[in-house]
Structure 1
Amino acid sequence: MMRSLDIVFLGLSLSSSWGNGHATTYRALVMGLRQDGHRVLFLERDVPWYASQRDLASPDFCELAYYADIDAMLELYRHRLRQADAVIVGSYVPEGVALIDRLGSVAPKRLCFYDIDTPVTLAKIDRGDEEYLALRQIPLFDAYFSFSGGEVLTRLEMRYGAQKAVTLYCSVDEGRYANTGEPYCWDLGYLGTYSPDRQPTLERLLLEPARRLPSMRFVVAGSQYPAEIDWPSNVERIEHLAPADHPSFYSRQRFTLNVTRSDMIAAGWSPSVRLFEAAACKTPVISDFWRGLDELLPDGEALIIAKGPADVVAVLRDLADADRKAIAAAARRRVLGGHTGAARGAELVRVLSELPANRACERISA
């Protein structure tokens, strides 16, 4: 049996799911680690936009601590960071470049990076935008855990100098995400924060079908949508849903829509956490297309790929209910079979256990 590990995450947010998909990804992963007896400390930058919107301020599955200053935090947790089996920095952490640089003085046994935004990160670096990770820092990590799989792993190693690039997809907490049995409120829904590059797809695959099917009901839940968007009268808007409300939201939809950011589509093999959450709730998913999707949830068997509004209209109007339920059941089986927090935690621990200790600090101090 593999020994228990002590892992420290420095991530964007565990406490607040407002305007980000990181929180639910971390929650499922950390809960999976806890189930297998591993110890986790999550260090989160205390910023006002999350502090005022916390839906999990005091988790019972790990230690969560907030910090306002990098140097003060490193001094306070120096011993823990040094003794931990692994220190894992996440993408989009405020002042991430400075944080990674300063971790050199702590000399962690293993230093890793968990990129929940890999295609976005690499696109930013290619533009010279080093908001939270510098190109020179990528070779410092013992392992670069990537939200995206497939070809991006080779790029990380061959082009960007990663020592070891490993897929670590997002996951779902199967104990919290399940169908609630509530009656349907909507024929098609979408859950996601506004993003300019996702909006055209949302327009094409939800708003236009809503205009063509005025007798059906639609819903979009998520924050930061501009006031000037022309919402059809049969599209309900929900500003924000806490994760505790996600299962009910998915369960009340006949279908849910998955929309992917352009950088993720270009990279392929980049499933969003919403994809797994909806499937776990036994809600059939209609999705845009990207390479690798069919390997996770085969089109027509566990998911429906739509290229345009006509495809969505045909599904909503014509697909037999028995076929709809079969697709939803197949997706749930696949997700619970390999994309839970427990499964993802085991993947993480397996890689960490294979990494030699104290290699990262040698590279940082070199």
Structure 2
Amino acid sequence: MKIAFYGSSLVSAYWNGAATYYRGLLKALSALGYEITFFEPDVYDRQKNRDIDPPEWCKVVVYNATVDALENVARRAAHADIVVKASGVGFEDELLLNRVLHHARPDALTIFWDVDAPATLAEVRSTPEHPLRQALGKLDLVLTYGGGDPVVSAYRTLGARDCIPVYNALDPETHHPVEPNPAFQADLGFLGNRLPDRESRVEQFFLEPAVRAQTQHFLLGGSGWEDKAMAPNVRRIGHVSTRDHNAFNCTPKAVLNISRESMAANGFSPATRVFEAAGAGACLITDFWEGIELFLKPQEEVLVARDGQDVAAIMNELTRAQAREIGQRALARVLSEHTYDHRATEADKIFREYARMREAAE
């Protein structure tokens, strides 16, 4: 089957947290026999900051950020058996959804794939005439990369025929244990861009514990933190390329996951960082969110902190030997249950089931 996938970017993770998810899932779907074309707009300097070349397992079409170029790529939806419009494409999202649905064949399976459900739902709820709300009844299905029952119920209430989570996971070929890199030496590392929906939680779970644990070294990767006041034991290194994520995760004694406020509030939303860190065999500390136990066992495969005081206490007690044991257990768990091969099998089953339902209804 042919998939036309309209998303933010496959070849660049620059200001594009969904890249790892797209790459892992689409590569695994390709291995199952799907022929995939990924359409992405040239916006936000992503093409200038590519971190992978176009892969063999997916054709990538980059189009200019103009309405004419958008219409040209939307027409190509007519050649696909499955048409996917993702959230947060970055250029004329509502128009793109409209035109893709217009050009999709009547027998094609049409899907809205939400990679940031809390943000999307907040926007749709605040705008009764939002184009996505109007389009939900025309779509066959909504898929999300997180959110659990709260997100599923919300989408069904708004008019979606169905909503199914297909969670983040691990691609063992890209995220795996490597040798430590002295450039990332630290006791606790955190990797994340400065975002309004995350900053206060970074202060609570990372910057305040650094003040409490002055004898330990904290490493901060990500863009936007240059003018942020922080303790002298915090070292800022700016943007970290995806090619260095394994070393970033493997080198510190532990690494920290901090959910955005909306993700933590909804729960059941493991960030790609969770699986990247576990796949590298890192000892992961995460802020608490509902549903973490579905993915990793608290205190055995992941350490859970409810506030910054918990983070500081964990860091003061955690030895490197204990950290290695936790990381190895996490690695074994994700390899056995949470790879993109597992997720692609789920998605394939969903596609085929809903395609059969469409045929039966016609």
Question: Does the alignment reach a TM-score above 0.5?
Answer: yes
Please state if 1:101 is matched with 2:117.
Answer: no
Question: In the alignment, which residue of structure 1 is the partner of 2:212?
Answer: 212
Question: In the alignment, which residue of structure 1 is the partner of 2:85?
Answer: 89
The answer to whether the Cα contact below 8 Å between 1:88 and 1:114 also exists between their aligned partners in 2 is: yes
Question: In the alignment, which residue of structure 1 is the partner of 2:300?
Answer: 301
- Aligned ranges for residues 210-359 of structure 1 at < 5 Å? 210-225=210-225, 227-356=226-355
**RMSD, matched Cα:** 2.3
Structure 1: runs of 5+ lacking an equivalent: none
* 1:81-123 residue CA offsets vs partner (Å, 9 max, x unmatched): 2232201111111211111111233133111011010111101
Question: In the alignment, which residue of structure 2 is the partner of 1:188?
Answer: 188
Q: CA deviation at 1:134?
A: 2.1
The answer to whether the Cα contact below 8 Å between 1:179 and 1:251 also exists between their aligned partners in 2 is: yes
The answer to whether the Cα contact below 8 Å between 1:110 and 1:358 also exists between their aligned partners in 2 is: no
Residue 294 of structure 1 aligns to a residue in which SS?
Answer: helix
The answer to whether the Cα contact below 8 Å between 1:20 and 1:193 also exists between their aligned partners in 2 is: no
Task: State how far apart, in whole Å, the 1-side matches of 2:102 and 2:171 are.
Answer: 35
The answer to whether the Cα contact below 8 Å between 1:16 and 1:51 also exists between their aligned partners in 2 is: yes
Seq. identity, %: 32
Task: State how far apart, in whole Å, the 1-side matches of 2:240 and 2:269 are.
Answer: 23
Please state if 1:15 is matched with 2:11.
Answer: yes
Task: State how far apart, in whole Å, the 1-side matches of 2:40 and 2:194 are.
Answer: 23
Residue 253 of structure 1 aligns to a residue in which SS?
Answer: coil
Q: Which has the higher contact order (CA 8 A, sep 6+)?
A: 1
Q: CA deviation at 1:48?
A: 4.7
The answer to whether the Cα contact below 8 Å between 1:284 and 1:327 also exists between their aligned partners in 2 is: yes
Residue 134 of structure 1 aligns to a residue in which SS?
Answer: helix
Task: State how far apart, in whole Å, the 1-side matches of 2:248 and 2:238 are.
Answer: 13
Q: CA deviation at 1:321?
A: 3.8
Q: CA deviation at 1:345?
A: 1.6
The answer to whether the Cα contact below 8 Å between 1:153 and 1:166 also exists between their aligned partners in 2 is: no
Q: 1:318 to 1:48 in 2, by over 3 A?
A: closer
- Aligned ranges for residues 66-215 of structure 1 at < 5 Å? 66-68=62-64, 69-75=66-72, 78=75, 80-93=76-89, 94-108=91-105, 109-128=108-127, 134-182=132-180, 185-215=185-215
Q: 1:298 to 1:214 in 2, by over 3 A?
A: same
Task: State how far apart, in whole Å, the 2-side matches of 1:339 and 1:138 are.
Answer: 29
Aligned residues: 354
Residue 249 of structure 2 aligns to a residue in which SS?
Answer: helix
Question: In the alignment, which residue of structure 2 is the partner of 1:51?
Answer: 47
Read off the aligned partner of 2:39 and give its amino acid letter: L
Residue 249 of structure 1 aligns to a residue in which SS?
Answer: helix
Task: State how far apart, in whole Å, the 2-side matches of 1:237 and 1:96 are.
Answer: 34
The answer to whether the Cα contact below 8 Å between 2:284 and 2:303 also exists between their aligned partners in 1 is: yes
Residue 42 of structure 1 aligns to a residue in which SS?
Answer: strand
Task: State how far apart, in whole Å, the 1-side matches of 2:119 and 2:69 are.
Answer: 30
Q: CA deviation at 1:347?
A: 1.4
Residue 201 of structure 1 aligns to a residue in which SS?
Answer: helix
Q: 1:332 to 1:70 in 2, by over 3 A?
A: farther
TM-score under structure 1 normalisation?
0.90
Q: CA deviation at 1:357?
A: 7.2
TM-score under structure 2 normalisation?
0.90
Task: State how far apart, in whole Å, the 1-side matches of 2:128 and 2:335 are.
Answer: 37
* 1:117-146 residue CA offsets vs partner (Å, 9 max, x unmatched): 011110111222988x62111222211001
- Greater Cα offset, 152-161 or 285-294: 152-161
The answer to whether the Cα contact below 8 Å between 1:8 and 1:88 also exists between their aligned partners in 2 is: yes
Residue 286 of structure 1 aligns to a residue in which SS?
Answer: strand
Read off the aligned partner of 2:260 and give its amino acid letter: R
Q: CA deviation at 1:172?
A: 2.2
Q: CA deviation at 1:191?
A: 0.9
The answer to whether the Cα contact below 8 Å between 1:19 and 1:222 also exists between their aligned partners in 2 is: no
Task: State how far apart, in whole Å, the 2-side matches of 1:61 and 1:345 are.
Answer: 14
Question: In the alignment, which residue of structure 1 is the partner of 2:38?
Answer: 42
Task: State how far apart, in whole Å, the 1-side matches of 2:34 and 2:202 are.
Answer: 40
The answer to whether the Cα contact below 8 Å between 2:74 and 2:96 also exists between their aligned partners in 1 is: no
Task: State how far apart, in whole Å, the 2-side matches of 1:76 and 1:333 are.
Answer: 41
Residue 158 of structure 2 aligns to a residue in which SS?
Answer: coil
Task: State how far apart, in whole Å, the 1-side matches of 2:327 and 2:334 are.
Answer: 11
Q: CA deviation at 1:28?
A: 1.0
Residue 81 of structure 1 aligns to a residue in which SS?
Answer: helix
The answer to whether the Cα contact below 8 Å between 2:101 and 2:110 also exists between their aligned partners in 1 is: no
Task: State how far apart, in whole Å, the 1-side matches of 2:169 and 2:128 are.
Answer: 28
Read off the aligned partner of 2:93 and give its amino acid letter: G
Task: State how far apart, in whole Å, the 2-side matches of 1:253 and 1:334 are.
Answer: 21
